[in-house]
Copies of this chain bind each other. A is one copy, B any other.
Amino acid sequence: MNYPPSVRRLIESLRQLPSIGPRSAERLALHILRADPALAENLAASVSGARRTVRPCECCGFYAEAPRCEICAAADREAGVVCVVEQPADVVNFEKSGAFKGRYHVLGGSLSPLDDIGPEELNIAKLLARVRDEQLREVVIALNTDVKGETTTLYLARELRQLGVKVTRLATGISIGTSLEYADSVTLSHALGGRKEV
């Protein structure tokens, strides 16, 4: 004898989420059953609501509820500069820092031949079109610093330079607030190579 079918279905659905194991799924399901019915209704409505309402911005690929996202539609962003990131979450991270005033372009991942992800699988053609259409003067590449991110950065830099646009990338070096003791040797050599006069 086990939970009734509808409870088992709920546990199974929750297990599909990342980093939710069988015990967590059970605990979440029991909470949903025990809590105020409004919690379950809100959760159900927001899950299907978000999935139906949100689509990729037709310009940059960030989340949007209209054809264009709020950032592409905003009049007060610096024109001519685009920051290329892998995921929508990276856009929000940059926005939290407040350090970037231009617009973004979300690739949706990075090149990965082993996973059959080539340039066509990423939001790259639209980026190249934007260089011309928006007469961009600078593209800042801000991808992850792992092997796939590096490969993608080099690929993009080559393609973009052919269009005559200035291509830059984020500085690499020691993270702010970390101890040198824990910096890995690759980061250290990057930081040393990029040293500046004080």
With both beta carbons as reference points, the residue of chain B lying nearest to A24 in the complex is identified as B19
Across the interface, which residues of B come within 8 angstroms of A131, CB to CB? none
Per the bound structure, the CA–CA distance linking A38 and B42 in Å amounts to 19
- Residues facing B in A151-165 (CB within 8 A) are none
Per the bound structure, the CA–CA distance linking A57 and B50 in Å amounts to 34
Interface residues of A (CB under 8 A from B): 1-7, 9-10, 12-14, 16-20, 24, 26-33, 35, 37, 39-51, 53-54, 63-65, 69-71, 74, 87-89, 91-92, 95
Whether the Cβ atoms of A89 and B47 lie closer than 8 Å is no
**How many monomers of this protein are in the complex?**
2
Across the interface, which residues of B come within 8 angstroms of A43, CB to CB? 13-14, 16-17, 44, 47
The residue that A51 contacts in the complex, of B1, B41, B89, with Cβ under 8 A, is: B41
Per the bound structure, the CA–CA distance linking A70 and B1 in Å amounts to 7
